[in-house]
A and B are shown apart, each in its own frame.
Chain A
Amino acid sequence: MESNITSQNGLEQPILEIDNLTVIRSGKLVLKNVNLTVNKGEFVGIVGPNGSGKSTLLLAILGVLKAQEGNIKIYNSKPMSRELYGKIGWVSQAAANLPKDIRITIKELVHLGTVNAKNMFSHTWLPMKDNGRNKKVKEAIEMVGLQGFENFDIGRISGGQRQRAVIARALATEAEFILLDEPLVGMDRESRNSLLKLLDRFCHDNGKTIIMVSHDLSAIRQTTHRMIFLEETIRFDGSTANFPDLESLAKLRGITHTHEQEMGQWSRELGDLKEER
């Protein structure tokens, strides 16, 4: 939080502003004094050890979890407020684990992204009042490269394809601001890379703003412009190029944190990363 580079530039347009956020979940302090500003068109990666509050932060931004202290503003509105419906796309951790025994096609799944409080009845009773829904669905499917698979049911496609389908569903909402929670879990290297490329394109070509949470450090490093190391609070926030190496990171954490076990796991992950390179 010391080096909030982009927000210092007055010309940027802030989409998300988090001010001194504190979240307590079932009696446990998960987030403390989190300050974060995200501007339009940014691709932000959030990393941190298990249980460091990454998902909690996303849920707080979405407004599912209430903050004990602090303020969150998205497009100058409070989370979950009416003005935000359809502006935020959410790709959950559970996406890869969509129940496989449900017979629903990719097209049907993506279509669900276009349903909202305003049109959920007209959707049903006035099917001719399309309002470009079908076009939206088609475009979203094309954007994630699933054209030709529209009528495949989600139980019978690969994990990578399913993740793309879920992302297409988020795109069909026409969201400008997309939050992804561990979208790379259970993906092979190839589909992981093409998904990252896809997200990168959304940012650059379509002007979407993306926050991606992952414990896959190398993936985040590969794609994002800005990285945040979160552990209860933001311990590093800056351009990806400046992300600290293992030792400096340990120092950053060591000062304030003493959880040996988590520390060990995180170091192991970083170790894996080194080998990969």
Chain B
Amino acid sequence: METGLGVFLADIFFPIFEFIAPYVPGETFPNFFNGNIQALQRSLLGSLMVTIIAGFLGSFLLVRNLAMIGDGLAHVAFGGVIIGIILGASTPLWYAMICSIIASASIYELQSREILTGDASIAIFMTGMLAFGLVILKLSGRAITTDIHSYLFGSQLLIDWESLDLISYMSLVSLIVLFSLRHALLAITIDPLSARVQGLPVRGIGLMFSIIIAIVVVSMVKIVGALLVTALLVTPAATAQLIGRSFKSCVFWTQIFGFLSVMIGLYVSSEHGTGAGSSIALTAATIFVMIGLVSGIIKNINPEKT
């Protein structure tokens, strides 16, 4: 067995998974826990890590009005993956990461210098990088293989130790940075000028945040797939906004909804073969609609108590 953060975390969490495995419902779903198929255990661990960090990041993305940046960077990452595969890289995610970080930082620069709005710059990078990847793919004379396909829609069975390591490191770094910067980040988001007057390094924090977004998105690509990254990044956070009153409570509820989406999504996909990424995304959206309806009804019954 290799060594790395992924292995270290696996040593801690796999026994816990195995402990609760007997209580897990379903026929195939327990395989995520009991260790019969280790790839599934890795995938579960990876999914949970990614969900935690995505939820945390998503709360900030909504506040910063950057909901679609996840989708944009995921497309960029996919373009990067294709380039990596064609160059014969063993871990094409590294290429994806470099491309995403460059794109994310550029989007931030364009936006903060008021050269382009956020949406427009996201659109340009997203399509540009994806197109670049696809053109290169055609030129290289290769077809879209299952490997490439797995980056589009995520692949539970292809989470090897190397990927888990990468996901673990990226999640840990992002979590530490986001947690450390959370007050400053909120301050510069709510009122950038005041933050600057208070002496906060607005630009530095903004750039740092952009890099973190890129890292988180790339770490999600392998698990949920480039097309569905936004589902875990934004939907739970948006659901939390429906019922949370403070930023803190929103962050808390985001974690709950993210966790539920992943668990229910994985259960449904493993029992009915509906595809993990899409099932998770669908669950997250369903939870949003349900909570939205319920909170809407409650508000109508009791409007002044909102």
Contacts and interface: CB of A to CB of B under 8 A. Distances in A.
A146 B181 CA distance: 28
B244 interface: yes
A115 B198 contact: yes
Interface string B162-204: 0000000000000000011111101100110111111111000
A259 interface: no
Given A92-B194, A99-B65, A120-B200, A153 B180 contact: no
A215 interface: no
Given A86-B198, A109-B190, A117-B200, A124 B246 contact: no
Contact of B193 (A90, A98, A116, A151): A90
A86 B241 CA distance: 31
Interface size class of A (residues with CB under 8 A): 35 or more
15 contacts: A64-B193, A80-B196, A82-B199, A85-B198, A85-B199, A99-B63, A102-B63, A103-B240, A103-B247, A108-B186, A112-B186, A112-B191, A115-B198, A152-B245, A156-B306
A95 B250 CA distance: 22
B191 A92 contact: yes
Interface string A90-121: 10101100110111110111011101111011
Contacts of B184: 115, 120
Contacts of A64: 193, 196
A121 B180 contact: yes
B248 interface: yes
Contacts of A112: 183, 186-187, 190-191, 195
Contact of A103 (B65, B179, B191, B250): B250
Q: Which of B65, B184, B248, B250 has the most CB of A within 10 A?
A: B184
Contacts of A212: none
Q: Which of B195, B201, B249 has the most CB of A within 10 A?
A: B195
A253 interface: no
Given A99-B65, A115-B184, A170 B194 contact: yes
A153 B179 CA distance: 22
A169 interface: yes
A62 interface: yes
A153 B194 contact: no
Interface string A119-136: 011011100000000000
Contacts of A62: 193, 196-197
A60 to B, nearest CB: 13
A130 to B, nearest CB: 14
B219 to A, nearest CB: 22
A120 B181 CA distance: 7
B247 A124 contact: no
Contacts of A22: none
Interface string A149-181: 001110010000000001001100100000000
B182 A124 contact: yes
A88 interface: yes
Contacts of A108: 186, 246-248
B180 A92 contact: no
Interface in B213-271: 240-241, 244-250
A65 B22 CA distance: 65
A109 B181 CA distance: 16
A175 to B, nearest CB: 9
A127 to B, nearest CB: 11
A153 B241 CA distance: 11
A62 B192 CA distance: 13
A108 B190 CA distance: 11
Contacts of B191: 92, 94-95, 98, 112, 166, 169
Contacts of A121: 180
Given A105-B245, A109-B190, A113-B194, 16 more contacts: A62-B196, A64-B193, A88-B197, A90-B193, A92-B191, A99-B63, A102-B247, A103-B247, A104-B186, A112-B190, A115-B198, A117-B200, A121-B180, A124-B182, A151-B246, A152-B245
